[in-house]
Amino acid sequence: MRKSKKTYHHGNLAESLLDAVDDISTKFGLEAVTLRACAKKVGVSPSAAFRHYSDKRALMTAFATRALSQLSQALSSASAEATKSGGNPFTAVSLAYVMFALDKPAFFRAMWREEGIYIGDEAYTGATQALQAHMQGGFADTLNDTDAQSLSSTELLAWSSVHGLASLMVEGSVARGESREAKVRIATSMISTLVPLTTDA
């Protein structure tokens, strides 16, 4: 009984369960994730896990929300750092997008799998809107933008290009078996071809 109570009061159980989702899905795929498997990995009872997430869909909704938020933060940080250091913000943001997918493939996949989450969840909706705002707001403030409420053709070109490359690399269609460094070089080369197309946007 004492052990059960200690498990329930796990310091940061909700976040630890999301870490378990990341680990399990990275190794075995998102389909392998269950609340019980995550609870076992964290070292708590299934009942403790169910107190935080009512079912797998709720768990995956929180995981997708975390992924969207972290991607938004990565883009903002890349833009700010490039501006501060005198680098090219567009290149930095584009590369940050691809590197996020390479470093966190489970997060990247989970963000777009709406069939497995509660898409009406308030936190998820907020995170989705925040990322959308980054893309519509001059591609994370790296392009000239006259309408922050919609995607311009240039913003759409930038987003679809980096997202497409990230997806191809994560799924192994491009650079399968290559090192992370090689993939980053490929991404950097592709992004450099986009710069002239966005400079006057």
Residues 165 and 77 in one domain: yes
pTM for this model (two decimals): 0.88
State the burial class of residue 149 (Cβ atoms within 10 Å of its Cβ: 0-12, 13-18, 19+): exposed
Residues 62 and 48 in one domain: no
Residues 17 and 61 in one domain: no
Contact predicate 94/191, CB 8 Å: yes
* pLDDT score for 6: 41
CA angle 114, 116, 118 (to 5 degrees): 70
Contact predicate 135/159, CB 8 Å: yes
Length of the chain: 201
Residues 29 and 65 in one domain: no
DSSP state of 147: -
Residues 47 and 107 in one domain: no
Q: With 90 as the cut, is the pLDDT of residue 201 above it?
A: no
CATH of the domain at 143: 1.10.357.10
CATH of the domain at 31: 1.10.10
* Nearest C-alpha neighbor of 57 from the set 100, 130, 115, 144: 115
Number of domains within the chain: 2
pLDDT tens digits, one per residue of 171-184: 999 999 999 999 99
pLDDT band at 51, cuts 50/70/90?
very high
Give the domain extent around 88.
Answer: 56-198
Residues 166 and 75 in one domain: yes
Residues 28 and 75 in one domain: no
Output the furthest CA–CA distance in the chain (Å, rounded): 67
Residues 12 and 38 in one domain: yes
